[in-house]
């Protein structure tokens, strides 16, 4: 039986012999890997990581388990096999092990999968855009406030840019004499264009309570236009159920 290193050498020298698992079109027709990994280091140092293609990111991951070979051909081959970098990372590690014959790379992929899962579960992760109410609700639920914030005296303010991307959020005491002025001031300071307000209620919403908050919402709406701002959403949250005041 051939050793893992020998099988890996054969793979690196005969890229086209691998069977195809991915049924779509292959992103790479040329799997040539002539060059040196210094090429990648120079690219990152001179231009930053944002310019890296998906196969180059995978290429650099492979560096840690393949020490003395150019990993560009294998990186491209893996993406051809699975269709994208994301599909490589999410792939069944048994399949990857059949292709690359490296326990270390399989372990690396498993670790990346674990990190990705933990990040998805983390409160630090926020959606990139809130153009729809359901996207905002997902964010609010993943970042639900602590118990001391769930009362009508605490107002949550979320600031977005013109593409509805998250900028920053604050909690403020509500109501206060300068509530509207404070909301507008922080919007300007953060270069926001969209404002989202959330009231957390730990009891039934009374008609008087609803009326007062609706009046506050109307007052804020009458002011935001002067500063090129928009109150894009104003919500009640009762027992994790969200109701829009603006509708």
Say yes or no to pLDDT of 163 above 80.
Answer: yes
Q: Are residues 142 and 114 in the same domain?
A: no
For residues 140-158, give the mean pLDDT. 82
- Residue 174 φ/ψ region, left for φ over 0, alpha for ψ in the -120 to 50 degree band, beta for the rest: beta
Averaged pLDDT score across all residues of the chain: 77
Q: Are residues 155 and 106 in the same domain?
A: no
Q: Are residues 220 and 155 in the same domain?
A: yes
Q: Kindly indicate the confidence band of residue 27, based on its pLDDT and cuts at 50, 70 and 90.
A: low
State how far the alpha carbon of 66 is from the alpha carbons of 80, 154, 171, in Å.
19, 54, 50
What's the confidence (pLDDT) of residue 15?
40
Q: What is the CATH classification number for the domain harbouring 215?
A: 3.40.140.10
Q: Are residues 111 and 165 in the same domain?
A: no
Say yes or no to pLDDT of 47 above 80.
Answer: no
Q: Are residues 137 and 235 in the same domain?
A: yes
Say yes or no to pLDDT of 16 above 50.
Answer: no
The answer to whether position 127 is within a domain reads no
Q: Are residues 76 and 169 in the same domain?
A: no
For residues 13-35, give the mean pLDDT. 48
Domain boundary among 72, 88, 121: 121
Instruction: Give me the residue label for tokens 């009231």.
Output: 199
* CA–CA distance, 37 with 109 (Å, rounded to integer): 20
Q: Kindly indicate the confidence band of residue 26, based on its pLDDT and cuts at 50, 70 and 90.
A: low
Q: Are residues 9 and 111 in the same domain?
A: yes
* CA–CA distance, 15 with 215 (Å, rounded to integer): 68
Between residues 23 and 137, the one the model is more confident about: 137
Between residues 218 and 119, the one the model is more confident about: 218
For residues 14-19, give the mean pLDDT. 38
pLDDT tens digits, residue range 52-104?
888 888 888 888 777 777 788 888 888 888 888 888 887 776 666 565 656 77
Number of CB atoms found within 10 A of residue 68's CB: 5
Q: Are residues 152 and 112 in the same domain?
A: no
Number of H helices and E strands in the chain, helices first, is 10, 5
The answer to whether position 126 is within a domain reads no
Domain boundary among 58, 90, 121: 121
Q: Are residues 52 and 83 in the same domain?
A: yes
What's the confidence (pLDDT) of residue 5?
46
In the chain, how many domains are there?
Answer: 2
Q: Are residues 93 and 145 in the same domain?
A: no
Helix, strand, coil abundance in the chain, percent, nearest 5? 50, 15, 35
How much is the pTM? 0.50
pLDDT tens digits, residue range 92-125?
766 665 656 567 777 888 888 887 777 665 555 5
First to last CA, the chain: 70
8-22, 104-118, 183-197: range with highest mean pLDDT: 183-197
């Amino acid at each position: 039986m051939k050793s893992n290193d020998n099988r890996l050498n054969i793979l690196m020298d005969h890229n086209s012999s691998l069977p195809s698992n991915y049924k779509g079109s292959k992103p790479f027709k040329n799997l040539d890997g002539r060059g040196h990994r210094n090429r990648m280091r120079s690219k990152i140092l001179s231009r930053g990581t944002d310019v890296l293609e998906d196969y180059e990111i995978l290429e650099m991951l492979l560096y840690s388990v393949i020490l003395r070979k150019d990993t560009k051909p294998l990186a491209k081959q893996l993406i051809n096999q699975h269709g994208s970098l994301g599909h490589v990372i999410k792939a069944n590690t048994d399949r990857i092990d059949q292709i690359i014959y490296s326990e270390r790379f399989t372990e690396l992929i498993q670790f990346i999968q674990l990190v990705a899962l933990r990040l998805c579960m983390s409160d630090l992760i926020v959606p990139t855009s809130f153009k729809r109410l359901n996207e905002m609700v997902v964010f609010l639920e993943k970042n639900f406030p602590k118990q001391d914030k769930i009362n009508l005296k605490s107002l949550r303010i979320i600031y977005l840019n013109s593409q509805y991307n998250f900028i920053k959020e604050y909690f403020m005491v509500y109501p206060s004499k300068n509530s509207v002025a404070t909301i507008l001031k922080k919007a300007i300071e953060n270069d926001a264009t969209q404002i989202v307000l959330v009231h957390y209620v730990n009891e039934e919403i009374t008609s008087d309570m609803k009326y007062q908050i609706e009046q506050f919402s109307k007052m804020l709406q009458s002011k935001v236009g002067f500063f090129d701002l928009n109150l894009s959403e104003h919500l009640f949250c009762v027992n994790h159920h969200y109701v829009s005041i603006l509708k």
